[in-house]
Amino acid sequence: MDKILEIAETRQAIQYLKVASFVVFLHDYLVTLELEVTHIWKSNWSTIKVAFLVARYLPFVDVPLILTYSLYSGLTFRDCYIVTSAASWSSLVGVGAAEVILLLRTYALWDRSKQLLIFLVLLFIGVFVVGGVSTEIFLRSIQYAPLPFPFMRGCFPIAASKLLYVDFVVALVDETVIMLLTLYVGFKRYRHSRSRLVTVLYRDGVLYFMCLFMITFSYAVVLIASPPEYIDLLNTPHRVLHSILGARIVLQVREIAQKDRTTSAIIHRRGDTMS
């Protein structure tokens, strides 16, 4: 009984963390919506725009599903499986879109090297395939039990394969490779650059990696070392952080690029006036 009470308290704390993560996501979305309207909605369609929109808006699908899984009390075991599967696959695609943004940022820093692009695309495909396989194995392995107390809500997993950690291990490898490429090209080519655009691409890339590495590493440790009730401890913070950071990189780069173009146009007009 004490163990069950401990599990119930743990689940409640995790539910609070999920709700808090969604609130952070909504706040960031509202804060940056004006920038998105200016720099994304009015822009031409491109790979980076598609990646941005997928990374930006899929949390409106999978995070509410995660909250339903955690907070709704009327779900059957099959409902739990369906909701968990939908949320997991949506999250995988959304995180993948955020990784595409990171990939394209690295590609831009390397002066659009075709050889590097091929390497990064192959790396991304490998990571995504491994992630998809481990996710499917994990979903098929989850076992649910009836809620032990009437005050508890959501689904109650009692067992699941720990193989899902493979997804996060390969993600760590992918992010580490991209980070090393960023550090190398930054030191070799851009350490003396005064371009604000290059500074944002490089600085934000480093910060992006550090944040994602910490949350991904922490989630992998939880999956490997923790009991089943901790399976979804960090899934919502991990999901939300990918969306927020991926979107902010694109928005900040485009905002600075727009300011640089505006400044150049003003200088050009002043030059015409003075000549």
pLDDT in tens, the chain (275 residues): 566 677 777 778 888 899 999 999 999 999 999 999 999 998 899 999 999 999 999 999 999 999 998 888 788 899 999 999 999 999 999 999 998 998 888 888 888 899 999 999 999 999 999 999 999 998 999 888 888 777 778 888 877 887 888 888 888 888 888 888 888 887 776 666 666 666 666 766 677 778 888 888 888 888 888 777 777 888 899 899 999 988 988 888 888 877 766 544 433 443 343 33
* Cβ contacts of 67-73, under 8 Å, gap ≥ 24: 67/18, 67/19, 67/22, 69/154, 69/155, 69/232, 70/11, 70/14, 70/15, 70/18, 70/153, 70/154, 70/155, 70/232, 71/15, 71/153, 71/154, 72/153, 72/154, 73/147, 73/152, 73/153, 73/154
Per-residue model confidence (pLDDT) at position 62: 93
CATH superfamily entry for domain 2-262? Rhodopsin 7-helix transmembrane proteins (1.20.1070.10)
Per-residue model confidence (pLDDT) at position 265: 41
pTM summary value: 0.85
Q: Taking a C-beta distance cutoff of 8 angstroms, is the pair 71, 153 a contact?
A: yes
